[in-house]
Amino acid sequence: MPHDDFQVEPVKGLPETPPDGEQILWQGKPDWWALSKESLNLLWVAGYFVFLAGWRFVAVVDLMPLGQAIWASVPFLFLGAIVCLLLVAIAWAQAHYTVYTVTNRRVAMRIGAALTVTLNLPYTQIGSANLDLRKGGTGTIAFGLLGDTRISYLVCWPHVRPWKISPTQPALRCIPEAEKIAAMISDAAEARVSMPQVERQGAAPTAVAAE
């Protein structure tokens, strides 16, 4: 399933031109702000540095004038701002270089800002899909895979179901209109899985079209 993307994409988000009969239904990418909050815990990190600044202020306010106590707390806020800006930059880069593709035969994920990898997930190899819907309509759709397929959690992060390491579940993270996309995937997968297979007499079964 994984594919190292070192060549020019013939179609945006896909490692090769789709075969005859395959149609692209939707393409999108994560919402970078939602990704920074959910995968990088931006708000928790910001709150942690605010707590440190407050704790520092309380610890020194009885030992020095009020103005000096405030200035003694400022470095924690400054450091926190730098860390939060780095997290936002990481989230933006991850979202910018990601392309999620839904077709009538598969879900494809071109992911990675530094090392680009494309995952092809045919509907016939997806056993389940889990929708985590958030306020504002963004959400994450995680896929449970059939068979012995194994995907690296670290290589695919943050495009995975959080804390689901064994087995790893690839996911469309923080996408807008997640409920609509989930319904689209459900309909396409149901149609694809129920498609009859052609068997050649005297030979092994073959699918109508290659995945």
Asked, for residue 62, whether it belongs to a domain, the answer is yes
DSSP 8-state class, residue 136: G
Residues 110, 80: one domain?
A: no
Asked, for residue 81, whether it belongs to a domain, the answer is yes
Residues 90, 102: one domain?
A: no
Burial (CB < 10 A; 0-12, 13-18, 19+), residue 205, is exposed
Rounded Cα gap, residues 169 and 199, in angstroms: 32
Asked, for residue 121, whether it belongs to a domain, the answer is yes
Residues 177, 125: one domain?
A: yes
> What single letter denotes the amino acid at residue 201?
Q
Asked, for residue 199, whether it belongs to a domain, the answer is no
> What single letter denotes the amino acid at residue 200?
R
Domain that holds residue 125: 2-6+24-31+98-193
Rounded Cα gap, residues 2 and 117, in angstroms: 6
Residues 185, 142: one domain?
A: yes
- pLDDT recorded at residue 210: 35
Residues 104, 135: one domain?
A: yes
Residues 155, 131: one domain?
A: yes
What are the b/e assignments for 94-132, b being 16+ CB within 10 Å?
bbeebbbbbbbbbbbbbbbeeebbbbbbbbbebeebebb
- Cα distance between the two ends of the chain: 11
Residues 102, 189: one domain?
A: yes
Mean of the pLDDT values across residues 129-147?
92
Q: Which of 22-36, 55-69, 87-101, 123-137 has the lowest mean pLDDT?
A: 55-69
Spatial CB neighbours of 33, under 8 Å, sequence gap ≥ 6: 91
Asked, for residue 206, whether it belongs to a domain, the answer is no
Mean of the pLDDT values across residues 73-89?
95
Last residue of a domain, one of 94, 114, 144: 94
The candidate with the shortest Cα–Cα distance to 20, out of 81, 94, 96, 104, is 104
Q: Which of 6-15, 31-40, 70-79, 146-155 has the lowest mean pLDDT?
A: 6-15
CATH number at residue 133: 2.30.29.30
Question: How many structural domains are present in the chain?
Answer: 2
Task: Name residue 28's beta-bridge partners.
Answer: 100
207 pLDDT band (50/70/90 cuts)?
very low
- pLDDT recorded at residue 151: 87
Residues 103, 66: one domain?
A: no
Residues 114, 188: one domain?
A: yes
Asked, for residue 87, whether it belongs to a domain, the answer is yes
Neighbouring C-beta atoms of residue 154, cutoff 10 Å: 8
Last residue of a domain, one of 79, 94, 109: 94
Asked, for residue 202, whether it belongs to a domain, the answer is no
